[in-house]
Amino acid sequence: MADYGYPDGGGEEEPPAPPAYGYPDDDGGGERPPFVLIDPVAYFADRKNSTTAVIDMEAGAPNLRGRLQVTFCAVAPPLVSYFCVHASHMDHTEFPVEPRILATETDGGLVLLCVATADPDHPIQQLSPENCQYFVYDALARKLHQLPQPGFQHRLSELSLAIMRKPNKSSKNTSKHVSLRPQEAEAEADFVVAAQSYIFWGKESPHLCIYDSAVKTWSNKPVVMGSSYPEHHIPSKTLTMGGSNGTVAWVDLWRNIVFCDVLAERPKLSYLNLPSEPGEEDINPRSVRDIAVFGNTIKYVAMLFHPVDTSSSKSITKARRHRSWPKKWHMERELDSTHIKVDAAGTVATFPTLSSLCVGLPTLSLQNDAIVYFLAKIDFSPRQHTAWVLAVDMKNETAEQVVEFPAERTYYVAKGYDASRFSAYLQPAPGTQQMPNDQGCR
């Protein structure tokens, strides 16, 4: 069962209104941000812009009826982008939790969504897999696809879900790790959704659960574990590397990375340890760590905290990089939070600062620069006080930007947004021309 860990969902209360920014379309709906910080939890709102896609929900899906509408409001970081969901024949109280993003294509315009339906036999925070309906939003085609329910025979681990377009066999690009610019990708190309089976580690013959849009069915594929594999691995983030074999990286942010070529006839796993020591099991690792892929480079960031026996509690943020898979990790930059300035003139930040607030959710910029984003709150309480997103330049040790973030939906500092490049593939508004903006993204 999926335990989403959000304090609210559905219910009789009026849902929070979406932010006013980013709607109907910033910049006239023309050039899109090359990447966004996207809130993975939907707002219930009937908003429409150039990204809006609708679908008639298939008969037979439990308690789903009418048309489903999805709209994205994309803005440049550090503002957090968001999306809105509206069902033509359903009220928000009929959904036990808000629809949410489960995965985005690492270098593409596909977004995997989950829409949960009510089940009287399960409480709100423990959703039955049979009542989780999956939809794929294709930014290039501006369409929604409803996937068949996987069923018990294809029970999967949602934390390991990945989505990618199937590689074009006629493409001249033979690189193992392929990423397409928005103008090169093919709208409505076949795609694959892949995940580890619900019980994967510890089994002699584990398998993948795979959905292929070309045949519109789910299937199971055996996996070769290899001679040795990690004793502990719990996926906390999934990256799609792509390429002819559809490489997926399952990241346990406390320990290691597991690579799997999910499109290979006989997928085999390979492993890479992270540079930091394992952390505390009862803490969500995403609150202090992040990882991202830039071509053949992996970038990793970790927050380390000084003991609280000093005059003030400080934190050190470390960024590490690993160039191509066989080579070792090396330190890229290290920063003490007390050295952060608010401008290039050297002014030391006094408020908000990483030392004086509850800070977490470090998120690497996807423009291959030195920016790391942080979520800062006065305390851990949900629905109280103000929260901020800080854009910190690790190279210049400067807080470049600070913007407010709706605190009413934050819980601790481990959730709130994820970084994604799907925004570069969103369709422009009619009458505008979209100019691709690479800026080192790929």
226 torsion bin: left (phi>0), alpha (psi -120 to 50), beta (else): left
User: 276 lies in a domain?
Assistant: no
Report how far residue 380's alpha carbon sits from residue 359's, in angstroms, rounded to the nearest whole number. 9
CB atoms within 10 A of CB 56: 12
Asked if residue 418 belongs to a domain, the reply is no
What is the residue whose two structure tokens read 């489960």? 102
Q: Is position 329 within any domain? A: yes
Instruction: Flag whether 99 is in a domain.
Output: no
Are the beta carbons of 371 and 400 closer than 8 angstroms?
Answer: yes
State the pLDDT at residue 310. 43
Residues of the chain with pLDDT under 70: 1-13, 25-30, 59-62, 119-127, 169-188, 202-204, 227-228, 306-327, 343-356, 381-385, 429-442
Q: Quick check: 426 and 33 in contact, CB under 8 A?
A: no
Closest by alpha carbon to 430, among 1, 30, 22? 30
Q: Is residue 336 part of a domain?
A: yes
The answer to whether residue 370 sits within a structural domain is: yes
Number of domains comprising the chain: 1
Omega cis (within 30) before 24: yes
In a domain, 312, yes or no: yes
Domain residue limits at 327: 287-413
Contact between residue 81 and residue 423 where contact means Cβ atoms under 8 Å apart: yes
Is 366 part of a structural domain of the chain?
A: yes
Per-residue pLDDT at 44:
94
